[in-house]
Amino acid sequence: MGTLEAWTERLARAAISDVDRRAVVASESARAMVLERLEEHRGESAERAYQDRDALHGWALLGRVLADAGASPTLAAQVVDTLAQVEGQNAFDGWAASSRAALVEAFVASQRELADKRAFASWRFPKCVVRLDETTAAVAAGLPDDDPDELARWADEVAAALAKMGVRRVFSDGSPRARAALDGALSAVGVEHRGRSVPSK
C-alpha cells in the first residue's frame, strides 16, 4: 500500500461522521501535493523543511480544502498525526509542528470566512424584506457592515428587487452603514426611503 493510500485509510478511521469521510476523499489531491513536497525534502534537515514556503502553502491549501468540505475540527487535528504514523515519527519530526500550524491556521480562517458568507446570505433579498402593502415594504438592514463593497452589493440587489416588485416606499431598521448604503441604492432606482417608522395598521 502506498503512502497516500495508507494515509487515507488512517484518516478514514479517524473520521467521526459521513461528512468527515467525504472530506477525506475530497482532500486526496491536496494531500498528494503535500506528499510530493515531503518527498523532495526527504533526508534534509528540519530547518530546511520548515523554510519551504511551497510545502507550508500545501498544508494551508489542505486546511482550506478540508474546511470547504465540511470536515470537523477533530478530523483536521488528526491529519498531521496520521501521516506521521504512516511515515514513521522519526522521519516526520522536522515537519510536524510547522505543518500542523499551517494547516490549522488555514482551516480556522476558512471556517470563519464560510461563517461570514452564511451570515451575509441570511440577510440577502428576499429574507430581509417584508412587504407591507402593494407599494410599501420594510427592510431589515442588519447584515455585517465591515465590508463596504459587500454592503454596496447588498443594497443594490435589494433596491433593484424592490423596484421590480413595484415598491415605491421603504422603511428600514438596522446599522447606520447598511441603512446609508440602502438609502443611496433606493434613491438611484426612484424608491423613497422613509426611515425607521413603520406605520401602524
129-173 per-position pLDDT tens digit: 999 999 999 999 988 777 899 899 999 999 999 999 999 999 999
| CA 37 from centroid of its chain's CA atoms | 26
87 lies in the same domain as 166 = no
User: Do 149 and 111 fall within a single domain?
Assistant: no
Note the Cα 198 to chain centre separation in Å. 36
Domain membership flag for residue 200: no
Bridge partners (DSSP) listed for residue 61:
none
Cell of 111: 471556517
**Hey, what's the cell of 41?**
525534502
Tell whether 29 and 109 lie within a shared domain. Answer: yes
In this structure, the answer to whether residues 78 and 25 fall within a common structural domain is: yes
Of 59, 84, 119, which one is at a domain's C-terminal end? Answer: 119
Please report, for the domain that includes residue 168, its CATH number: 3.40.50.720
**What are the pLDDT digits (tens) for 110-122?**
998 888 888 778 8
**Do residue 43 and residue 110 come from a single domain?**
yes
- Amino acid at the residue 125: F
Is position 136 within any domain? yes
124 belongs to a structural domain: no
Alpha-carbon distance of 45 to 40, in angstroms, equals 12
How many domains are there within the chain?
Answer: 2
- Specify whether 28 is located in the same domain as 65: yes
Q: Are 9 and 83 in contact (CB under 8 A)?
A: no
Q: Report how far residue 201's alpha carbon sits from residue 153's, in angstroms, rounded to the nearest whole number.
A: 32
Peptide bond into 126 cis (omega under 30): yes
Rounded to whole angstroms, the Cα distance separating 136 from 134 reads: 6
- Number of neighbouring beta carbons within 10 Å of residue 30: 18
DSSP 142: -
pLDDT on residue 138: 96
User: Which stretches of the chain drop beneath a pLDDT of 70?
Assistant: 1, 41-52, 89-94, 197-201
Can you give the pLDDT at residue 173? 93
Predicted TM-score (pTM) of the model is 0.65
Q: In the sheet that 192-195 helps form, which strands lie side by side, from edge to edge? A: 129-133, 136-141, 169-174, 192-195
| Residue where a domain terminates, one of 52, 84, 119 | 119
In this prediction, residue 123 carries a pLDDT of 87
Residue 15: helix, strand or coil by DSSP? coil
- Domain span at 187: 129-195
* 48 inside domain: yes
